[in-house]
Amino acid sequence: MIIAVLSGFFFAIIALLSGKPIRKNMGWIPALLPLTLFIYFFSLLPALASGPLRFKYEWVPSMGVNADMKLDGLSMLFCLLITGIGTGVFLYASYYLKGHQYLNRFFCYLSIFMAAMLGMVLADNLVLLFVFWELTSISSFFLIGFNNEEKISRRNALMALTITGAGGFLLMAGCILIGSASGTYSINSLLASAGNLQQHTLYGWMLLFIFAGAFTKSAQFPFHFWLPGAMVAPTPVSAYLHSATMVKAGIYLLARFTPILGHTAPWNITLMIVGGITMLYSAFHSLQRTDLKEILAYSTIAALGILVFLLGVGTDAALLAAAAFILVHALYKAALFMVAGILDHETGTRHVGLLRGLGKVMWPVATAGLLAALSSAGVPLTYGFIGKDLIYEATLHAPSFAVLLTAVAVLTNIFVLYAGFQAGIRPFAGELPQQYRQLHLPGWRLWIPPLVLALLGVVFGLLPSLTDEALIRQVYTSIGGQGTLPPLKIWHGFNTVLLLSGITLVAGCLLYFLYAPSAAFRPLTDKWQHFSPEAITIKCSRAFLKFSNWYTNLFHSGYLRAYVSIIIIFITCLLGLKLVLDVKVYFDIKTNISGIRLYDAVVFAIILAAIWKSVSTSSRINAVASLSVVGYCICLLFVIYSAPDLAMTQFTIDTLTVVLFVLVLFRLPPFLKINDRKVILRDAVLAALFGAVISIIALEAMNEPTTKEISRFYAENAYVMAKGKNVVNVMLVDFRGFDTLVEITVLTIAALGVYSLMKLRVNSTTKE
Amino acid sequence: MKSIILKTASNYLLPLLLLFAVFILFRGHYKPGGGFVGGLIASIAFVLHAFANGLQSTRKLLRYPPGAFIPTGLAISLLSGLAPMFAGKPFMSAEWLSIHIPIIGLLGTPLFFDIGVFFVVIGIALTILFTISETIL
């Protein structure tokens, strides 16, 4: 299982390195990866009937973080969608972006994304889930910004990353909170402690954090605005990420947590309200768009709203409807996106007003569009009809506000139908304009995937039993559905649900024939633009930039002396405050401080003299030399108090520092007395205070009864365990070897910093 | 800074100091010393040589740019940490051979780790000093 998840990451590296073959004519090869995975997951489907499959992998067992995977109904549905639609999208992209300069990078990002999605839906550990969650955000950032030479692409990619990243951050908080409240990070064990979690005093915060993650990822109001912006991505990306998979990650999260945190009033009411607002708001917005992909984006947000809303209703019927609708929506929306992509690819425009009569030149594409649109409309005999039936069934029998909820659902579905017809039917109907007459059918890799998806929508509609027991029921049980519900059927007889479906169809068709999509309403809604969540977010980020600019300028004067004083003032205040407030300062001269011997006194006198010389001299070389005297005297102290390792290191470091100083001194301008008496006095006071604080701390530290256990452990075990007699060195290379490894890495970074700083300066002067 | 005495002395001092640095490096396991100090001493040796003979000749002597020592050392340290993993032990657990070699002492992964530190320190000290002095002078 873990190989299946990680294969995408390995493949990403291979794809990145094999740019030439992928660009030439081997572009279809990457599609074999999702296809293989699809077959693999599909072969596991029968095994699912006897309960979820679990895979155990150790990761950090000491912290309860394991790379455990669990394949239940919900994971299976998502895995099949990710790999199945992935196969289509990989094929589609290989033609859509044929010959693109960076096609290999595209497949690299796409396979990373696919692997991350698979990992996320399979993860049975909160930490693992979060890691993959973030990976999907990051890989989608690269995919949205794939046309990175366009400013709008970069801007919208950044916007999507900011929103989903902020949500991911809160999700992390939620995961940690849930993990520490229940004592386990394993999702499977969380199921058992659901009751405890819901009684927990921090239950509200858990909900808040989980919702923040899910709503940002799944583009729920008021975080919806990144999704239409993300449509700047190449169409395969939109079809894959923004209809079928990534935006459903939030839905997945909510569904996964329904049995754990759900079925409480705050959970249900929040989801219903947010989902309800989202579906109406965006369905209404889709009426005002004229760009095919934007229409589809808004109708996707509406569909996501419906899913959140259904999870919020939370009855058994609603959970079943959500399970079915995830599949329904993925099938028709990915097909519609691909159809829109074909139109864009062939005609160069996505404006609904300009595209007419294309069914005559590309009939398979038209068929795919028509079938997908019918499924999205919920016309009888399509899978969409069954999905819509289940939705109405759920809202009609909701425990409260049934009429209101049904009305909202019907209204949204009318708009969704309209959007589907706009994208799937309108471009192919009517007279073919002159300029499109020479168009012909594009390569099969472009139109086969949407056609297959759309056909599946019809096949599943005709034979609902194909998906019912094997998949949808499994999803239903894994998200906490308990009661037995009637099987999915094409025909339920004459009842209210059918009436509502009829109303939806008639009203939607009327709307389609009477109202041509136009931007006529735009000025009206644009008036409210100042208050839209998008505008507020942009304003906040501008204000943040301004603030950080101001803050940086406040502290960064560019003078080294200013930096040093700020740092010292800060440390003195912080430590001084702590000393005054919390520590009872006393020291016992008799017991703690050994008597002062002659050589102590001599070394001390030399240090004092050297310091006095270094601050009073007016020659730099004198100052440096006196400082080095101070350094060497400290070496002497180390030797006297038996720390030869420290002394050696200090000695060599001091030597090198002096050399460095001498090198730099040549370049400095002649010594200037820039400080007047006041500044000198100020610095003297500051230095004295800082010295006093440090001395008090040093004396105080001796008073504290430190545990000698650690040093004793090292002293006793250095030879026994690590075969070394020099305890300091054994600690450096063995006991605390990992620290040393990180330290030398840090040193490397410092050296690189010096190198690039100096070299950069040379470049800028040569330019002048 | 051209001085015949320094120049002549540095030619003899360089190998001596380098030997001393290596000695300090190997000595570290039992007595004061170790990769860090050893590396610093070795870089002082090269800096002395550079003072006497000019940077260019030291660079020629080193053959590789001092920056190249850094990744080499990091790689040695990292590999010495990774090596036990092939034997199924956790990352960075010490592994010793039972062969005792005079001066060097026991062979083991911590020794190689220390050798890595030695190279990294030489690389860093020389990179910083050489870069600054080249830019300044």
pLDDT digits (tens, 9 = 90+) for A32-80: 888 999 999 888 888 887 878 888 888 777 777 788 888 888 899 999 9
User: Within this chain, do residues A375 and A471 fall inside the same structural domain, yes or no?
Assistant: yes
The closest alpha carbon to A358, from A294, A456, A447, belongs to A447
User: What does the alpha-carbon distance between residue A302 and residue A416 come to, in Å, rounded to a whole number?
Assistant: 7
Q: Which A-chain residues 678-737 have CB contacts (< 8 A) with chain B?
A: 722-726, 728-730, 732-734, 737
- What is the phi-psi region of residue A348: left when phi exceeds 0, alpha when psi lies from -120 to 50, beta otherwise? left
In DSSP terms, A351 is beta-bridged to A291
Contact assignment for A645 to B34 by CB distance below 8 Å: yes
Nearest CA in chain A to B73: A744
Check: CB of residue B65 under 8 Å from CB of residue A759.
Answer: no
The closest alpha carbon to B73, from B114, B35, B119, B108, belongs to B119
Query: B124 at the A interface (CB within 8 A)?
Result: yes
Check: CB of residue A246 under 8 Å from CB of residue A230.
Answer: no
Higher pLDDT, A630 or A666: A630
Domain endpoint, select from A499, A520, A541: A520
HEC profile of A213-231: HHHHHCCCCCCCCHHHHHH
Classify residue A58 by its DSSP letter.
-
Report if residue A362 sits inside a domain: yes
Pick B117's closest partner by Cβ from A740, A758, A762.
A740
In DSSP terms, B60 is beta-bridged to none
In DSSP terms, A254 is beta-bridged to none
Q: Residue A745 corresponds to which tokens in the numbers above? A: 């890495």
CA distances from A525 to A289, A370, A399 (A): 12, 31, 35
Query: B125 at the A interface (CB within 8 A)?
Result: yes
Which single residue is written with the structure tokens 């300029």?
A435
List the end-to-end C-alpha distance of chain A, in Å, as a whole number: 59
Q: Which residues make Cβ contacts (< 8 Å) with residue A243, sequence separation at least 6?
A: A296, A300, A329, A330, A333, A334, A336, A337
pLDDT in tens, A428-473: 887 777 777 777 777 788 888 888 888 888 888 888 877 777 788 8
Average pLDDT over residues A243-261: 87
User: What does the alpha-carbon distance between residue A402 and residue A409 come to, in Å, rounded to a whole number?
Assistant: 11
HEC profile of A353-421: CCCCCHHHCCHHHHHHHHHHHHHHHCCCCCHHHHHHHHHHHHHHCCCCCHHHHHHHHHHHHHHHHHHHH
**Residues of chain B with pLDDT > 90: what percent?**
23
Q: Which residues make Cβ contacts (< 8 Å) with residue A536, sequence separation at least 6?
A: none
Query: A761 at the B interface (CB within 8 A)?
Result: yes
In degrees, to the nearest 5, what angle opens at C-alpha A503 toward C-alphas A497 and A507? 155
Query: A657 at the B interface (CB within 8 A)?
Result: no
User: What does the alpha-carbon distance between residue B77 and residue B109 come to, in Å, rounded to a whole number?
Assistant: 9
Average pLDDT over residues B28-57: 86
pLDDT in tens, B85-102: 777 777 767 777 666 666
Contact assignment for A737 to B81 by CB distance below 8 Å: yes
User: Within this chain, do residues A315 and A425 fall inside the same structural domain, yes or no?
Assistant: yes
User: Within this chain, do residues A607 and A665 fall inside the same structural domain, yes or no?
Assistant: yes
Bond into A222 cis (ω within 30): yes
Number of domains composing chain A: 3
B94-100, Cβ contacts within 8 angstroms, sequence gap of 24 or more = B94/A722, B94/A723, B94/A734, B96/A723
Nearest CA in chain B to A730: B29
pLDDT in tens, A80-129: 999 999 999 988 888 888 877 888 888 889 999 999 999 999 988 888 89
To the nearest whole Å, the CA of B69 is away from the closest chain A CA by: 10
Q: Is the Cα torsion angle A679, A683, A688, A689 positive or negative in sign?
A: positive
Report if residue A609 sits inside a domain: yes
Query: B101 at the A interface (CB within 8 A)?
Result: no
User: Within this chain, do residues A660 and A749 fall inside the same structural domain, yes or no?
Assistant: no
User: Within this chain, do residues A380 and A493 fall inside the same structural domain, yes or no?
Assistant: yes
Question: A652: domain range?
Answer: 594-672
User: Within this chain, do residues A664 and A745 fall inside the same structural domain, yes or no?
Assistant: no
Q: What is the DSSP code string of A655-697?
A: HHHHHHHHHHHTTSPPP-----HHHHHHHHHHHHHHHHHHHHH
Check: CB of residue A623 under 8 Å from CB of residue A617.
Answer: yes
Report if residue A710 sits inside a domain: no
User: What does the alpha-carbon distance between residue A744 and residue A751 come to, in Å, rounded to a whole number?
Assistant: 10
User: What does the alpha-carbon distance between residue B125 and residue A477 come to, in Å, rounded to a whole number?
Assistant: 64
Nearest CA in chain A to B113: A733
Domain endpoint, select from A480, A495, A520: A520
Check: CB of residue A388 under 8 Å from CB of residue A324.
Answer: no
Give A266: exposed, middle or buried? Use CB within 10 Å, 0-12, 13-18, 19+: middle
pLDDT in tens, A606-628: 999 999 998 888 888 888 889 89
What does the CA dihedral A220, A225, A228, A232 come to, rounded to 10 degrees?
-130
pLDDT at A376 over 60: yes
Contacts of B29 in chain A (CB under 8 A): 723-726, 729-730
pLDDT at site A607: 93
User: Within this chain, do residues A508 and A380 fall inside the same structural domain, yes or no?
Assistant: yes
Report if residue A384 sits inside a domain: yes
pLDDT at site A569: 92
Contact assignment for A724 to B29 by CB distance below 8 Å: yes
Contacts of B34 in chain A (CB under 8 A): 645, 726, 728-729, 732-733
User: What does the alpha-carbon distance between residue A734 and residue A730 come to, in Å, rounded to a whole number?
Assistant: 5
Check: CB of residue A354 under 8 Å from CB of residue A291.
Answer: no
* Mutation for B interface: A628, A649, A656, A729, most B CBs within 10 A: A729
Query: B17 at the A interface (CB within 8 A)?
Result: no
User: Within this chain, do residues A313 and A382 fall inside the same structural domain, yes or no?
Assistant: yes
User: Within this chain, do residues A499 and A373 fall inside the same structural domain, yes or no?
Assistant: yes
User: Could you tell me where the DSSP H helices lie in A425-478?
Assistant: 444-462, 465-467, 473-478
User: Within this chain, do residues A516 and A611 fall inside the same structural domain, yes or no?
Assistant: no
pLDDT at B16 over 90: yes
To the nearest whole Å, the CA of A9 is away from the closest chain B CA by: 22
Report if residue A1 sits inside a domain: no
Contacts of B135 in chain A (CB under 8 A): 758-759, 761-762
The closest alpha carbon to A118, from A67, A73, A82, A88, belongs to A82
Higher pLDDT, A488 or B118: B118
User: What does the alpha-carbon distance between residue A123 and residue B128 come to, in Å, rounded to a whole number?
Assistant: 46
Nearest CA in chain A to B33: A645
Q: Which helix (H) or strand (E) holds A492?
A: none
Buried b (16+ CB within 10 A) or exposed e, A473-506: bbbbbbbbbeeeeeebeeeeeeeebbebbeebbe
Q: Is the ipTM here above 0.90? A: no
Check: CB of residue A746 under 8 Å from CB of residue B82.
Answer: no
Contacts of A718 in chain B (CB under 8 A): none
User: Within this chain, do residues A663 and A737 fall inside the same structural domain, yes or no?
Assistant: no
User: Within this chain, do residues A662 and A748 fall inside the same structural domain, yes or no?
Assistant: no
pLDDT at A529 over 70: no
Counting Cα atoms < 13 Å in the Cβ hemisphere of A305 gives 30
How far out from the chain centre does Cα B30 lie? 19
Report if residue A419 sits inside a domain: yes
User: What does the alpha-carbon distance between residue A620 and residue B111 come to, in Å, rounded to a whole number?
Assistant: 42
pLDDT at A763 over 70: no
Q: Which B-chain residues 25-84 have CB contacts (< 8 A) with chain A?
A: 28-37, 40-41, 43-44, 47, 51, 67, 70, 73-74, 77-78, 81
Contact assignment for A729 to B29 by CB distance below 8 Å: yes
Domain endpoint, select from A520, A550, A572: A520
Average pLDDT over residues A738-761: 86
pLDDT at site A7: 86
